[in-house]
Chain A
Amino acid sequence: MKLLNLNFWNVFIYLIALFFAIPIGLIFLSLFYGFNENFEHIYEVVLLEYSINSLILVIGVSLVVLFIGVITALLVTSFKFTGSKIFEWALILPLAIPPYLLAFVMTEIFEYSGSGNLILRSLNLISDDSSLPSIRSLTGAILIFGFALYPYVYLITRVALMNISKSILDSARVLGTNKLNTYVKIVLPLIRPAIFAGLALVCMETLSDFGAVEHFAIPTFTTGIFRTWLGMYDLATAMQLASILLFVIIFFILLERKQRSNVQFSLASDTKELEKVESLKGLKNFSASFFCFVPILVGFIIPVLEIISWSIEIENVFSTKFISASINTMLLAVAAGIITTIIGIIFNFNIRIYSSKNAQIFNNFISTGYGIPGLILAIGITQFLTYFDLILIDTGIVITGSLFGLIFAYVIKSYALSSNVLESNYKQLSKSFDDSARTLGSSKYILLKDIHLPLLRTGIFTSVLLVISEVVKELPATLILRPFNFDTLAVTVYTFASEERIYEAAFPSLFIIGIGLIPIFFISEMIKSMRGLN
């Protein structure tokens, strides 16, 4: 059997897959270097603490996101109550605020002189010398991650609920099952894979975070890796720690993939939204609205209002730092958006034209990049580029510390977003177009240039926008891989928060949130079209 077909399109995907794999491969390779005294010290003194804190964080956040995500999804899908139509899309809004930014804002609100305490004092709810408990704790971090990340579970559960055929529920009712039992015995088992898929994403995000846990001074794997590398200057040990975390992350990636495939399996082909059987009234109506409003209030409205209040305090709105960080961010984000989309187009074109299993396998493999923590990617890429620099030593070219590494990290992190969009756009294009063009004498290049690209333009535009929104928020990889004195908006916000000059972070933060709203628009449009509202 012919395993490798070496034409331009295939060689391209093999090379890209290899490039994506090298940084991760180097991380795992570090386990074979042998362990030095720093690793032994970390193993004996802090590794248990890192593990326990990370575990508590993951379990706590999972419970919070399950509680908020599943109940809100069930409420807005199954009942009609005051504001339910608005909550359907507003419950996704917290996705626009990355956890580290929510952590910075909430820290400020819970400070002794923060707006939370000021409001409570003005309402005489607390005395002048008392204050709210500090949010900078493990419990605080669990709540921050919970309110920032519950939309993952909400979204995927909601979509699963919308896909449950009403006839299944009718059958259960006719067979004598009451409404509550129908939910417990039919609906919950059907949406369980979706819930676990969403939960796996949340766990990955929680374990990958650096900004929030570092701000809260919670020793976790990511802060430990960061300190080992940039505090102890021991890249080898940092990579070994990263390998351990990566094993856990890969478990969650596989879990998420498996559960996603089960989601498709468990849902009926007759896709109709669960009928809104009951309009809630009185206390039930109020409770449902209140329950859906609180996560939006905490996860989006309060932080945005708080940041707006900071911006009023700022005199020099368009500081040089803000302008240069905005330009840097947009240049990087647009470059990463274009490069990622080009790679996505070539992969998906190859899969379509050659029905290539290899291309599909490689595409699935490089799509897992979204789950790799930015910090680990940064370590792997740094190591990779160092080898490159050694090869290029005679040419005087130095790649480490250049924008190349940064864009490389962004492309790996955001490839799945781009590929998913392009794949679904390609599915809408009839293959008869390809057959016609090819029998009319078009080469594959002409087919791509003159037929696919014009017909995919909406998907291409969406892909670039989604990558931009992802890149603008990215912190840990940017922090490590950026060239000297090169700040992005996320780094600017992080720096201001670290230097306790948080008010100056107002406009960069608003910019990040504004860009973060882009995917929310697309997601809400997708849900709308699923409901046939378009």
Chain B
Amino acid sequence: MKKNYLELTKIYYQVNSNTILKDINLSVEEGEFISVVGKSGSGKTTLLKVISGLTKQTSGAIYLDDKILADENSFMQPEDRNLGLVVQEKVLFPHLNVQSNVEFGISSDSEKKDKSIEMLKKFHIDKLKDKYPHEISGGESQRVALARTLVTKPSVLLLDEPFNGLDQKLKEDIYPNIKQILKENKMTTIMVSHDLKEVKSFSNKVYNLKNAVLRKYEP
């Protein structure tokens, strides 16, 4: 049996008296792709922010490969967690071209160029390397954002409705490419989305976040 790679235990997140996440328990195995569906405002994005460390949980603990990311006594900053996050908004840094965007997270100067070009090739967007974010389409932007995240070899990839806003035709074009890359990299992934059809095409498991509670999705 595979061991749990990412584990969330008894996570609560409250703002004033409003409970956004309630007793969240989640175990993800290495290389697994799980999805969380839920209505807009149900707390899906908050869940990813809590895992990534961008938002601190009110209580509970998060473990990655048996290391504590956050619990009652300790909190690892997001930059130290090695988790990749791709969100639905345009997040490419507008003052950097595509290649510089992808190079941003690579710490070794000598490897920056080779690694970024290699990743851009995987996503078939190496021709865009000199373009700036405002010069490329929405679908291309999302692929650059994914490339920028994957090039850092994150332990877990967190996807927050990354394909929202793209038309169906474009989604169908880029899905196989992304699936293949994630599979090749054995990437442990958590994706949140409101589109059940989309998540089913990617996921090993699907969860439903409703009234702040996370449950396994049962059709």
Q: List, in ascending order, chain B residues with CB within 8 A of A432's CB.
A: 87, 89-91
| Cross-chain contact A436 with B91 (CB below 8 angstroms) | yes
Q: How far is the CA of A455 from the CA of B94 in the complex (A)?
A: 8
Nearest-neighbour CB distance to chain B for A513, whole angstroms, equals 36
Q: How far is the CA of A432 from the CA of B54 in the complex (A)?
A: 11
Q: From the candidates A437, A438, A439, A441, name the one contacting B107 in the complex (CB within 8 A).
A: A441
Q: How far is the CA of A279 from the CA of B158 in the complex (A)?
A: 59
Which B residues between 52 and 84 are near A, CB-CB below 8 angstroms? 52-54, 77-84
Nearest-neighbour CB distance to chain A for B134, whole angstroms, equals 13
Q: How large is the interface on B (under 10, 10 to 19, 20 to 34, 35 or more residues)?
A: 20 to 34
| Cross-chain contact B91 with A441 (CB below 8 angstroms) | no
| Cross-chain contact A441 with B87 (CB below 8 angstroms) | no
| Residue among A432, A440, A455 with the highest chain B CB neighbour number at 10 A | A440
Query: How many residues on chain A are close to B (CB under 8 Å)?
Result: 16
Give the nearest-CB partner of A454 in chain B.
B95
| Cross-chain contact B93 with A433 (CB below 8 angstroms) | yes
Q: List, in ascending order, chain B residues with CB within 8 A of A433's CB.
A: 91, 93
A356 at the interface (CB under 8 A from B): no
| Cross-chain contact B78 with A438 (CB below 8 angstroms) | yes
Which A residues between 325 and 360 are near B, CB-CB below 8 angstroms? none
Q: How far is the CA of A353 from the CA of B94 in the complex (A)?
A: 20
| Cross-chain contact B91 with A430 (CB below 8 angstroms) | yes
Given A455-B94, A455-B95, residue A439 in contact with residue B89 (CB < 8 A)? no
Q: How far is the CA of A450 from the CA of B104 in the complex (A)?
A: 9
Q: List, in ascending order, chain A residues with CB within 8 A of B85's CB.
A: 435-436, 439
Nearest-neighbour CB distance to chain B for A385, whole angstroms, equals 40
Q: List, in ascending order, chain B residues with CB within 8 A of A430's CB.
A: 89-91
The 8 A CB mask of B91-121 against A (1 = contact, 0 = none) is 1011100000000110100000000000000
| Cross-chain contact A440 with B87 (CB below 8 angstroms) | no
Q: How far is the CA of A458 from the CA of B45 in the complex (A)?
A: 32
Q: From the candidates B49, B89, B90, B105, name the one contacting A440 in the complex (CB within 8 A).
A: B105
| Cross-chain contact B94 with A440 (CB below 8 angstroms) | no
B46 at the interface (CB under 8 A from A): no
Nearest-neighbour CB distance to chain A for B80, whole angstroms, equals 8
| Cross-chain contact A441 with B90 (CB below 8 angstroms) | no
The 8 A CB mask of B26-49 against A (1 = contact, 0 = none) is 000000000000000000000001
Q: List, in ascending order, chain A residues with CB within 8 A of B152's CB.
A: 440-441
Given A430-B90, A455-B95, residue A439 in contact with residue B54 (CB < 8 A)? yes
Which B residues between 153 and 198 are near A, CB-CB below 8 angstroms? 154, 158
Given A435-B54, A454-B95, A455-B95, residue A442 in contact with residue B79 (CB < 8 A)? yes
Give the nearest-CB partner of A430 in chain B.
B89
| Cross-chain contact A439 with B84 (CB below 8 angstroms) | yes
Give the nearest-CB partner of A443 in chain B.
B79
| Residue among B83, B95, B145 with the highest chain A CB neighbour number at 10 A | B95
Q: List, in ascending order, chain A residues with CB within 8 A of B105's CB.
A: 440-442
A397 at the interface (CB under 8 A from B): no
Q: List, in ascending order, chain B residues with CB within 8 A of A443's CB.
A: 79
| Cross-chain contact B91 with A439 (CB below 8 angstroms) | no
Nearest-neighbour CB distance to chain B for A353, whole angstroms, equals 11
Q: List, in ascending order, chain A residues with CB within 8 A of B78's CB.
A: 435, 438-439
B149 at the interface (CB under 8 A from A): yes
Nearest-neighbour CB distance to chain B for A355, whole angstroms, equals 10
A451 at the interface (CB under 8 A from B): yes
Give the nearest-CB partner of B85 in chain A.
A439
Q: List, in ascending order, chain A residues with CB within 8 A of B87's CB.
A: 432, 435-436
Q: How far is the CA of A45 from the CA of B83 in the complex (A)?
A: 74
Q: How far is the CA of A521 from the CA of B197 in the complex (A)?
A: 53
Q: How far is the CA of A439 from the CA of B158 in the complex (A)?
A: 10
Give the nearest-CB partner of B95 in chain A.
A454
Q: List, in ascending order, chain A residues with CB within 8 A of B52's CB.
A: 435, 439
B22 at the interface (CB under 8 A from A): no
Q: How far is the CA of A435 from the CA of B84 in the complex (A)?
A: 10
Q: How far is the CA of A62 from the CA of B87 in the complex (A)?
A: 52
Which A residues between 386 and 436 are near B, CB-CB below 8 angstroms? 430, 432-433, 435-436
| Cross-chain contact B148 with A440 (CB below 8 angstroms) | yes
Q: How far is the CA of A443 from the CA of B81 in the complex (A)?
A: 12
| Residue among A433, A441, A450 with the highest chain B CB neighbour number at 10 A | A441
Q: How far is the CA of A282 from the CA of B66 in the complex (A)?
A: 84
Q: List, in ascending order, chain A residues with CB within 8 A of B158's CB.
A: 439
Q: List, in ascending order, chain A residues with CB within 8 A of B154's CB.
A: 439
| Cross-chain contact A439 with B93 (CB below 8 angstroms) | no
Q: How far is the CA of A436 from the CA of B152 in the complex (A)?
A: 12
Q: How far is the CA of A435 from the CA of B89 in the complex (A)?
A: 11
Nearest-neighbour CB distance to chain B for A460, whole angstroms, equals 13
Q: List, in ascending order, chain B residues with CB within 8 A of A450's CB.
A: 104
Q: How far is the CA of A451 from the CA of B148 in the complex (A)?
A: 15
Nearest-neighbour CB distance to chain A for B23, whole angstroms, equals 24
Q: How far is the CA of A395 from the CA of B72 in the complex (A)?
A: 49
Q: How far is the CA of A442 from the CA of B80 in the complex (A)?
A: 9
Nearest-neighbour CB distance to chain A for B144, whole angstroms, equals 11
Q: How far is the CA of A450 from the CA of B79 in the complex (A)?
A: 15
Q: List, in ascending order, chain B residues with CB within 8 A of A441's CB.
A: 79-80, 82, 105, 107, 152
List 9 A-B pairs, Cβ < 8 Å.
A432-B87, A433-B93, A439-B158, A440-B104, A440-B149, A440-B152, A442-B105, A454-B95, A455-B93
Query: What is the interface of chain A, defined by CB distance below 8 A to chain B?
Result: 430, 432-433, 435-443, 450-451, 454-455
Known: A438-B53, A439-B158, A442-B79. 4 other contacts (CB 8 A): A430-B89, A432-B91, A441-B79, A442-B105
